[in-house]
Structure 1
């Protein structure tokens, strides 16, 4: 290719689009530690105390659950950044999906949930996507739905994760578009 194009060898890949690559002989770790630090700095939450979980149990969010958040553009900007972090952080996918449902008119209660997620990220900033060599390339898929988990519109949130060997290759969490009714 170098005969046809002007190429530069930049050496081993270490960081690309905010994703940090740590490579050893046995694994590849993709993290976004600096990206998380920049987000905490942007939101003035760099000195917050970390939390152990991304979302509190039994939190019921819905439109109008408290007064409107004073800076909806900040909410949207932070959620966009968090959506990008889902490329390396499977553990925040559900929470980010839940909070993204309120981007049109966020409330203070929803912003408090965003802050909790940022606290979680502060304590887990070195977590990421670990890719290891596998002896067997079997494909496994896992799925789950909360069966009408939203108390306000009766729609379910479902998610799945697909593995190739020991490595996750696809994952998602999303609110279903239709209401499933049992007969």
Structure 2
């Protein structure tokens, strides 16, 4: 059971009332939940999945200790026909599924996980090699976490970007965005467009539309919580030449 709030007397009252009705144990402040580790101080708190990553290494049987600086090579474009089909794709599917859950606290692997998850139906040796690269990247960055300072401002800042005709098979683009509430990263996403963009401008506009939808929802959510937030939102976009 997780109880949130800032009134210790009322929290104690709720727990006592629940103990009268149900068989329960108070485990104290939240430290670990579903593979997510929570660390808090009077000034900030952070969430990570370091133990989950270590367990992932054991399941992947990654013997060597080599690390890489980035989770995926620059400008790589994977195809379903690259490499030889894996004789048993179960292991690949299991690892990719684990990485999907890991992306809950590791936005830096959102893009490669999005790419690799497109090949779970029929993965090949090439796809598996790129999957191992993500794991080697995690080995060198295992202590990274999401950090949330308590004194952060309530200004929403949004960053979005898009590729154009990035997929070599269907020519559809990718859009990605991240949203900060003050200095805290609260939302991020990488997604392939459902239609083909006929220009890089159209692809960028679709990316902006996606992050605008997310910001609108976050504003409604903050309003429901009774949070007074800064109404100024900043969009920062990176333009590319194609």
TM superposition score normalised by structure 1: 0.94
Query: Which one has the bigger helix percentage?
Result: 2
Does 2:17 correspond to 1:3?
A: yes
Does 2:177 correspond to 1:163?
A: no
Q: Is the 1:139–1:164 contact (alpha carbons within 8 Å) kept by the matching residues of 2?
A: yes
Q: Is the 1:134–1:166 contact (alpha carbons within 8 Å) kept by the matching residues of 2?
A: no
2:48 corresponding residue in structure 1: 31
The within-5 A match list for 1:66-145 is 66-145=83-162
Q: Is the 1:37–1:46 contact (alpha carbons within 8 Å) kept by the matching residues of 2?
A: no
Does 2:161 correspond to 1:147?
A: no
SS in 2 for 1:181: coil
SS in 1 for 2:179: strand
Q: 1:152 to 1:50 in 2, by over 3 A?
A: same
Structure 1 residue 71: Cα displacement? 2.4
Unaligned runs of 5+ in 2: 1-13, 203-242
SS in 2 for 1:101: helix
Q: Is the 1:155–1:180 contact (alpha carbons within 8 Å) kept by the matching residues of 2?
A: yes
Q: Distance in 1 between matches of 2:63 and 2:143?
A: 15
Structure 1 residue 87: Cα displacement? 0.7
SS in 2 for 1:3: helix
Q: Distance in 1 between matches of 2:107 and 2:63?
A: 23
**Deviation sequence 1:108-158 (CA, Å, 0-9, x none):** 000000000000001111111111123420111111101111222211111
Q: Distance in 2 between matches of 1:143 and 1:58?
A: 18
Q: Distance in 1 between matches of 2:160 and 2:152?
A: 24
Q: Is the 1:134–1:165 contact (alpha carbons within 8 Å) kept by the matching residues of 2?
A: no
Tell me which structure has the larger Cα radius of gyration: 2
**Deviation sequence 1:30-53 (CA, Å, 0-9, x none):** 111111111111111054311111
Q: Is the 2:152–2:184 contact (alpha carbons within 8 Å) kept by the matching residues of 1?
A: no
2:71 corresponding residue in structure 1: 54
TM superposition score normalised by structure 2: 0.72
Unaligned runs of 5+ in 1: none
Q: Distance in 2 between matches of 1:50 and 1:56?
A: 13
